[in-house]
Amino acid sequence: MGLIATALAVAPLRFDREKVLRVIPQDEKQANVIKDLAQTNQLDFWYPDAPHHITANMTVDFRVSEKGFQSIQSALDQSNMHYEILIRDVQEEIDKQFDVKEDMAGRHSYAKYNNWDKIVAWTEKMVGKRPDMVSRIKIGSTVEDNPLYVLKIGKENERRRAIFMDCGIHAREWVSPAFCQWFVYQATKSYGKNKIMTKLLDRMNFYVLPVFNVDGYIWSWTQNRMWRKNRSKHPNSTCIGTDLNRNFNASWSSSPSTNHPCMDTYRGPAPESEKETKAVADFIQSHLTSIKAYITFHSYSQMLLFPYAYTSKLPPNYKDLVKVAKIGTEALSTQYETRYIYGPIASTIYPTSGSSLDWAYNLGIKHTFAFELRDQGRFGFLLPESHIKPTCKETMLAVKFIAKYILKHMT
């Protein structure tokens, strides 16, 4: 019996015949219908990330259980709301993600999604390969005591200007850590061969955090592919996890809809209450004199975003940020003609509080950007591995151009 119980406890959650729907409410009345459905049904919002953001004419993507689909369907029909089924069987798409064959079983690959153990081994390998250029810094540990590793790329000088980049703040956005790994690999490999990369690394450092939310990432591999938050426990609640991108000290408490521990966007009991957030905040603050830009990578929706997230007020250097975002998205589209839109978070997607982007900007880092990588919803968080390389290649172009601009205009 004990063995059976253990086997049951570790079986990952399945999503057989669950669906992802896309709805565009035509007016506030229809927007309210979806908000009401969220009250009575367990809906997993993919875009926007919580129902309170929903307004008229907004694209809304959400996952619905096999059981709940019929009642949702009839409620939408009753309200004359057109809907599209983006994913007919979520489990099928989860299984189909791994569509790139392995060169060698169990080996790290840039064309595949790598689990945490492979990523840790890869960080060691990168240092071993290029000790002159790559060093690994443990900036802290997670709730479950996993290490938080930053890879520093560039020559040894601490005082050189730097860009801080992080990936995987939300566990289920797997293409994000894939990009951070790709970036480290390409930067070190093309040094001395590619003109722009050589110039960048000769004159600045990159701090790269390949997986911000390590515990959540592990959980998304082993237990629940759709997990978003970290894995911290909360007193007086059986619900687990805090949304690390609502936990930064930037207008932290301004959104009342993030204050319930069972929500996917739960902000935590206090700003920087989470070990992961605190470790990143401390590291950036201790390197503030050198860090000139902050870039964070998410998925999905193909956007390049900048502050503010918590207010529709425009940042003082708005024109400059627009210019850089335009350069970045234009560079990105040259490879495969992938179209990105750009703008401040609050007006381009929806207002959010406690984000790492606003926090870094308010700290004095005047070039802060968030990429929402591929795609636009066909696969959403379940982007197949065959899309990793193209996503990384085009994003690399954008990052290089942004870095080049920063290098040129750095004070």
- Residues catalogued as catalytic: 372
List Cα–Cα distances, 320 to 13, 66, 259, 380, in angstroms.
45, 47, 34, 31
Would you give the distance in Å from CA 355 to the centre of its chain?
12
Of 239, 249, 173, nearest in space to 212 by CA: 173
Separation CA 219–CA 225 (nearest Å)? 8
Of 182, 290, 308, nearest in space to 251 by CA: 308
Contact 57, 26 (CB under 8 A): yes
Contact 244, 296 (CB under 8 A): no
Separation CA 285–CA 192 (nearest Å)? 31
What letter represents residue 386's amino acid?
Answer: S
Burial label for 236, CB within 10 Å (0-12, 13-18, 19+), is: exposed
- DSSP annotation of 156: S
List Cα–Cα distances, 231 to 217, 219, 243, in angstroms.
10, 8, 10
Of 256, 175, 269, nearest in space to 230 by CA: 269
